[in-house]
Amino acid sequence: MLAVASGGGHWEQLMMLRPAFAAHDIRYATTDPAVAQRHGIEGAAILPDCNQHTPIKALACALAAMLLVLRIRPHVVISTGAAPGFLCILAGRLVGARTLFVDSIANADELSLCGRLSKRLAHTCLTQWEHLAGDAGPSYRGALL
């Protein structure tokens, strides 16, 4: 499986989900090599950082995500955001992976843009705020803080 998160809060939250991946053959991907090292993870793939306001970087990231996914062929792709993680989820869908997006605990009022896109484009989208959950998604199963 592939677990992806941008450096910073997104990555911190992914690390708190690590027990869920324990028994599995897992590759990590992030935007900052130093954060993976900090948690003792070797061989993390590094993706270019991007967001909705940096279309050229987003294109570069989408390409990198596609190449990564084609190389490792994950059965499951999970991301806690942000855009690079979401792009890996899209790439994952193209190779038939099951995909899960977990919206950051930071988004207490509304889902992030990637969260909103994941409602439709990932198999499952989770919010960490119960009042944001809905029948059409996202689902709520608890919060990390």
Partner 1 sequence: MILVTVGMQLGFDRLIRAMDALAPQLGMPVVAQTGNGTFRPLNMDIRDRIAPDEFEALAGQARLVVSHAGIGTVLTAQRCGTPVVLMPRRAGRREHRNDHQLATVKALEGRPGIFVAMDETHLPERIEQGLALIEWSPGRSGTAENLVASVAQFVETGRL
Residue 73 vs 141, nearer CB to partner 1: 141
Query: What distance in Å separates the CA atoms of residue 110 and residue 142, rounded to the nearest whole number?
Result: 16
**Least distance CB 77 / partner 1 (angstroms):** 10
Backbone angles phi, psi at 12, to 5 degrees: -55, -40
Binding site for partner 1 (CB under 8 A): 1, 7-13, 16-17, 19-21, 24, 32, 34-35, 37-38, 51-53, 76, 78, 98, 100, 102, 104-110, 112, 123-124, 126, 128-129, 139, 141-145
> 100 Cβ partners below 8 Å, 6+ apart?
76, 77, 78, 79, 89, 122, 123, 124, 125, 126
| Smallest separation (angstroms) from partner 1 to the CB of 109 | 4
Residue with Cβ nearer partner 1 (67 or 139): 139
Give dist(CA 79, CA 65) in Å, integer. Answer: 12
Nearer to partner 1, 26 or 67 (CB): 26
Nearest CB to partner 1, comparing residues 67 and 143: 143
DSSP-derived secondary structure for 86-108? HHHHHHHHHTT-EEEEE--TT-S
What is the nearest approach in angstroms of partner 1 to the Cβ of residue 71?
20
CB of 64 to partner 1, least distance (A): 19
Helix (H, G, I), strand (E, B) or coil at 27: strand
